[in-house]
Amino acid sequence: MSRFGGYRWKHKPPDPDSKVATRHKDRSDMILQYKASVINKCKVATEHNLPCVDLATRYTEPVIIQRSKEQTEKYYLEHVRSVDASSHLLSNDKNHSIRIDQLFSPDSDENTPKTVILSGDSGRGKSFTLQKIMLDWASGELYSENFDVMFLFNCEELKCMFEEMSLFELLSWSCSLTLDQISQILSNNTKESPFPH
């Protein structure tokens, strides 16, 4: 277990007898370097004109309602303009709340979600939740067994972009990795890579 900035993450070193140990080591080192930058970036919460504070002091576990695509479409058709939309979500027997560590867990039909969309009114904690997921992943506390690497795009920053970019350029722009490092990491990826947004 490695430590950085008071946070810990799990890291399994490659088998030194493996033929790909050197390539794996380089990739693992790049991922560890990236995780350290994610920890450094995500451990602090910033809000508009307020001073920066530790994310742990500002973060509150949100109420996350799990729904299928069909349930979501039906909900938006019936309730998106309703003032009582949030209370309806919690009172519906078909909906149940989950924790952030359950976002990629199988649902009641044993289907594992491949896409997770966080939606809600402004100021409800979506950005902080994603920041917390990134911090916990980089620290090895959440989804490190599921995903080798995770990237976070800030939609407010993306809206300000005026030039076209490839996915690799966008990833490099949004994190501490170079285009070459991203290419190496993703070309040797053994697990899925979520792109939370």
Q: How many CA atoms lie within 13 A of 28 on its CB side?
A: 14
Q: Which residue has the higher pLDDT, 8 or 79?
A: 79
- Is pLDDT larger for residue 160 or for residue 114? 160
Residues 2, 150, 148, 103, Cα dihedral to 10° = 100
What pLDDT is stored for residue 189 in this prediction? 58
Q: Is residue 190 very low, low, confident or very high in pLDDT (cuts 50, 70, 90)?
A: low
pLDDT at 39 over 90: yes
pLDDT averaged over every residue in the chain: 76
> What are the residue ranges spanned by the domains of the chain?
2-61+99-144
Q: 45 and 60 in contact (C-beta within 8 Å)? A: no
C-alpha atoms less than 13 angstroms from C-alpha of 188 in its C-beta half-sphere? 16
**Using one digit for the tens of pLDDT, what is the confidence trace for 164-179?**
989 889 999 888 899 9
The DSSP output letter for 100 is G
pLDDT band at 133 (very low <50, low <70, confident <90, very high): very high
Structure tokens at 61: 């576990």
Q: What is the pLDDT of residues 9-37, one digit of tens each?
A: 444 444 545 444 455 678 899 999 999 99
pLDDT score of 64 more than 50 = yes
